[in-house]
Amino acid sequence: MILLLLVVSVALIILLTAKLNVHPFLALLLASFFFALTTGMSFDLILSSIEEGFGGTLGKIGLVILLGVVIGAFLENTGGAYKMAELVLKLIGKKNVHAVMGIIGYIVSIPVFADSGFIILNPLNKSLSKKANLSIAGTGVALMLGLLLTHVLVPPTPGPIAAAGILDADIGLVMLVGLGVSLFGLIIAIIFSKKVAGKTYIDPNPELSQADIEKKMEAAPNAFKSFLPILAPILLIVGKSLIGFYANETLASTFLFQLISFIGTPLIALIIGMLLAFTLPKKLDKSLFSESGWVGKAFLSASTILLITGAGGIFGKILQNSGIGDVIAHLFEGVSMGIWLPFLLTAAIKSAQGSSTVALITAASIMAPLMNAMGFDTEIQKALLVVAIGAGGLVVSHANDSAFWVVTQLTGMDVKTGYKLYSLGTFVVGISCALFIFLLSLIL
């Protein structure tokens, strides 16, 4: 019954937003209450889930979204984003934008949280798509799928690290197998984004004509200066991950380590990126920071994204606290399906409650006592098990996942299109990775 109610809740979101044109924030809120009340959750638990879901989600990425939008506004309004795009297009050509965005996302998400990575790279993606006359639907899906692949498959991202720890798997082997599987998934993601998602045209920046862009580029900063607000945060976050991965107790106590750890957090790194963005205009007029200036307009445009992302967090937390993960785990008890069991178990939990990291940790905890009985006893088999769980974490991103709302809102997709392109993309890539892991399990 609880699974049926989940399906009805998702259908309710689609009906309200796609057919009745209800704002996604209200649709998510109504669906959350519907699911909570029909499953018999206590009033206290409903209230705490709303507070934790909204506050917890925005606490993690709310300020990151705001800062990213400000950086994007300065890159766009100064013409810096188009200078970046011009340089990249000269190097790789208009035909390869989907591949480039997928590869950039794939690399960036190893140290950077996927949602944050999309927000940081969105200005570049918009400008590249506009300059190449491509739909942002295709390039946006390519970027997010690239980000997600390493997010769920390659340590040192939190999900794979936690799953490897729970299952006592060798991190080096998990990384090696995860890289191989994720690279295969990346090829599928690029093909899907170009051939399927890219066929639905969404203008990356409908307010600007080509003549407007050319006019902006005349007074734009050079490409190197334009790249700094994006590259600096990424390098700082990567630096923090690397130094944290190799740090010992002596190094961890030094001021330099603490400084890098501080400035390498996504929030501080993006503040630094924002300050660098303030250097892009030829003249930094105080009006740019007013309510009617670039900053004010950026905050106004971010408000809708924040509301919808927070409401998605409520829906996800309601599902988590309903115990739907335990119900799904119970359904798979006693089932022996080799590498497919951990994949399907994780996919079911991910689809039900929205968080890939929660799904990976939950599935790994369930699989831990079953490993020997199912024959996952060698180091390579343990690594394959962790990666199979990671692949399940891709399937399926939809309304209860903050990434869904970040992608749809920043690319201008409506909910129906988001399901058709982005959710379908996570399904196709996740299944493809699972098939590749299954073939590896037969060989290895």
Cα 135 versus chain centre, distance:
19
> H helices within 322-401, ranges in order?
324-331, 340-353, 356-367, 371-374, 379-392
Task: Give the chain's end-to-end CA distance (angstroms, integer).
Answer: 40
CA-to-CA dists, residue 63 to 119, 236, 268, 269, 298, angstroms:
11, 17, 10, 12, 13
Per-residue confidence in pLDDT tens, the chain, 444 aa:
888 898 888 788 778 876 788 888 898 899 899 999 999 999 999 999 999 989 987 887 788 778 878 887 888 788 887 787 777 777 777 788 999 899 888 877 765 678 878 987 888 888 888 888 899 999 999 999 999 998 899 876 778 878 888 888 888 788 889 989 999 999 999 999 999 999 999 998 876 666 776 777 777 888 889 888 888 887 887 788 678 767 777 777 788 888 988 998 878 988 999 999 999 998 888 899 998 899 998 888 778 778 877 887 888 788 888 887 777 767 766 666 788 989 998 898 888 878 787 788 778 877 886 787 677 888 899 999 999 999 999 999 988 888 999 999 999 999 999 999 999 999 999 999 999 999 999 988
Centre a 10 Å sphere on the Cβ of residue 310 and count the other Cβ atoms it contains: 24
pTM for this model (two decimals): 0.72
- Three-state SS at 101: helix
Residues 6+ apart with CB under 8 A from 431: 395
**Count of structural domains, the chain:** 1
Angle between helices 266-277 and 43-78 (to 10 degrees): 30
Question: Which structural domain, as residue segments, surrounds residue 59?
Answer: 2-443
∠ Cα 183 185 189 (to 5°): 115
Q: Is 338 exposed, middle or buried (0-12, 13-18, 19+ CB in 10 A)?
A: middle
Tell me which DSSP letter residue 323 carries: T
Residues 116, 69: contact at Cβ < 8 Å?
A: no
- Report the distance separating Cα 87 and Cα 224, nearest Å: 10
